[in-house]
Amino acid sequence: MAETTLPPTRTLPVLPLPNGVVLPLMVVTVAAESDEAKAAADAAACNDGELLLLPRIAGPGESGTDRFARVGVLARVESTGTLPGGTKALVIRATGRAWVGNGVIGATSGLWVSVEPIDDGEPTARAKELATELRATLRALFEAMGGRRLSEVLTGVDDPGALADLAGWWPELTLERRVELLEAVDVEVRVAKVLAWAREALAELELTKKIQGDVRDGMEKTQREFLLRQQLAAIRKELGDDGDADDELERFRARLEELRAAGVAEGVLTHIDREIGRLERTPAQNMEHGWIQTWLDTALGLPWTERTDDHLDVADARTVLDEDHTGLEEVKDRIVEFLAVRKLRAERAAEAEVAGDAADAVEQSARKGRGAVLALAGPPGVGKTSLGESVARALGRKFVRIALGGVRDEAELRGHRRTYVGAQAGRIVRAISEAGTMNPVVLLDEVDKLGSDYWGDPTSALLEVLDPAQNHTFRDHYLEVDLDLSDVLFLVTANVLEQIPGPLLDRLEIIRVDGYTEDEKVAIARDHLFARQVRGNGLRDGEVAVTEAALHAIVAGYTREAGVRELERQLGKSLRKVAVRIAGGEAAPITIDEADVAGLLGRARFQAEEVAERTSVPGVATGLAVTGAGGDVLFVETTAVDGEPGLIVTGQLGDVMKESAQIALSLVRSRADAVGLDPATLARRFHVHFPAGAVPKDGPSAGVTMTTALVSLLTGRRVRGEVGMTGEVTLSGKVLPIGGVKQKVLAAHRAGLTEVILPKRNEPDLDDIPDAVREAMVIHLVDDVAEVLDIALAA
């Protein structure tokens, strides 16, 4: 800007501006309506048209009235005229800023002040940089406001101060900011202020446009979807398939809104909403229409928001278990402990929440649904599945059983992917849907019967299901949405733990259900099985009765199992015979006594003298074993034949058992002198046979039995018929501990044996044996095979 020579101090009349601010280089028209304006106009006419434009600012001044700005604008009246109403008007051009001094007595009436003109001077480099940025920002702002022509105002204005003063034409600039701009006499500060305001306005305008755009897009999308749905409905109406499809869509959408209102995870809702949209766009004649509809029925049919309240009264739980099962005290104790822990966790979480301890409440809440996964392991028929039902009844939860026997495809558990024809959800998801709640008791039955092939390994799928740290985001291959299984109580049953893979077994807490004693079987038959079979065979209560002696006869002579399934079958057989007699007109009630058992069931299948008969000759010993059906007695027969010295082993034996036979023979040869054998008698070919050759056998626990049988054969001393034995033997003659002590002792008791030889290191396992069995039997604990021979061989 060219420099203007101005006197240091001048006296000018004041034209107050009550509602605006005029900045240098602006040309404005002012109506002289007020007395102050008329006086200023007259004074300007007497002062060569020069005057001072001074904004009036609302707020208390020194005298308590409105004050004037500290900086005014030097101006010149270019022309005058009269408005249509007769009011005088002035066309004024502002020329520069001036400091306002004191009031003085002027040449005319009105307000006169002394002023000191302000020269902007030469702009600094910084001011020029800010001016360049300001020009670009104002141009972007004007274009965003839709005023391209406003950008033309910037053309030809090069001075930074003048460029900043152009903001005076900005209609959105407030009065306070206009005064602030007027009073900014430093050019660099003035340009910086206008630049900041321009940036702020540009950002606000862009945000407003973005919001308006989003709203407009949303409205357009809604309107578009409405029009498309109307057109789709019209097309379906013409095709004649509109009714059922619309009803299905409305049902799906209503269910989706229910889930949304209940707070189901957003990822699940988004996936379902997308599938509903696909269903709506897919014609009913398209095969995918049925697949999508099936998926939606499955996903929306899950009880996402349904949960049952746990009944965690420990005393009631024990009562329920006692009502449903006789015996199994150790198992009941562990289940009650399990429920007690869940009860305390739930209570602690509630107490922490009430007390306001958020961290503790979150921790307890996260842990209350977690805990050990109980695995009930034992032979068939001992009540593993019914124990699971009792746990569900004690907790007040729904019960679902998943039979895993023979399952070889992991897709059976995790579901088939939707790319396959006939795909469906896995058994886990179907169990949840069947239960109708998200926290049922799910019994995974016969987990040891799972198989694996090239289709996959289902036991690997169970690793995630049974891991509390992972199952809260279980994902079925068919659904492909996260499913929370952390509230589900999983129970597992198995017959043979050795057939369960190690990683899966590591996630389970094993509770062994080994079987029942004879007295427990009689109590179960009396309290549970008999009444059930009476109803199952069409009889009424009171028409038939059974004595304790008859039940003992059935248990002892017709069953020799760990469980009670065969016992129930025998009771059913006897009651069917009674039903025939009552149907034939015989008067009720009919009582089944011990003498009637043979007539109803035929000859007894098991004899107490069987063991004594089998061991009546030298070379035969009675061992004890554990099979998938529980404990059992195992006979070992030996004989010697002429020929090349060696050993023959038969009876479908595994490698470990064959090696045990070799160890037994080597031990006998090494101790020939101690036993009193002639070494020449050992130079023969020996044959060791295990009867029941159709049954596979393996394990080292028959070592002492084979050693005893060989010594019995060679010495001619028979093995005592009332003695059973088990234990692994070493080449040095030590007897090592074995497993399944409880099951083996119960099997010996059922078989009528009165003495059992066990390894001494198995002494702690005697605590697991029922008191009634321990009192009825003599248990010998041995360290060396010499002790076994002393006890087992007859004199």
Beta bridge partners of 474: 483
Q: Which of 368, 701, 712, 742 is catalytic?
A: 701
Q: Cα separation of 779 and 777, whole Å?
A: 6
Q: Cα separation of 551 and 588, whole Å?
A: 20
Q: Cα separation of 344 and 312, whole Å?
A: 9
| The token pair that represents 117 in the structure block | 């003109």
Q: Distance from first CA to last CA of the chain, Å, rounded?
A: 137
Please indicate whether residue 744 is annotated as part of the active site.
yes
- DSSP letter for 9, please: S
DSSP 3-state of 772: helix
Strands, E, within 515-578: which ranges? 544-546
DSSP code string of 67-88? EE-SEEEEEEEEEEEE-TTS-E
Q: Which of 384, 398, 521, 744 is catalytic?
A: 744
Q: Cα separation of 157 and 166, whole Å?
A: 9
Paired sense of beta strands 399-403 and 71-82, if any: unpaired
Q: Cα separation of 482 and 441, whole Å?
A: 20
Given the structure tokens 């309506």, which residue do they identify? 33
499 alpha-carbon distance from chain centroid = 28
Please indicate whether residue 701 is annotated as part of the active site.
yes
DSSP 3-state of 478: coil
| The token pair that represents 570 in the structure block | 């025998």
Helix (H) or strand (E) holding 28: strand 27-31
Contact 452, 408 (CB under 8 A): yes
SS (H, E, C) 345-414: HHHHHHHHHHHCCHHHHHHHHHHHCCCCEEEEECCCCCCHHHHHHHHHHHHCCCEEEEECCCCCCCHHHH
Beta bridge partners of 115: 10, 100
User: Which sign does the torsion angle of CA 268, 273, 276, 278 carry?
Assistant: negative
Beta bridge partners of 778: 755
Contact 262, 254 (CB under 8 A): no
DSSP 3-state of 615: coil
Peptide bond into 589 cis (omega under 30): yes
Instruction: Return the number of other C-beta atoms located less than 10 Å from residue 377's C-beta.
Output: 22
| The token pair that represents 1 in the structure block | 């800007």
Q: Cα separation of 710 and 704, whole Å?
A: 10
Question: Helices 565-583 and 548-558 meet at what angle, rounded to 10?
Answer: 120
User: Who contacts 261 (Cβ-Cβ below 8 Å, separation ≥6)?
Assistant: none
Q: Cα separation of 697 and 689, whole Å?
A: 12
Helix (H) or strand (E) holding 552: helix 548-558
Q: Cα separation of 507 and 96, whole Å?
A: 88
As annotated, the active-site residues are 701, 744
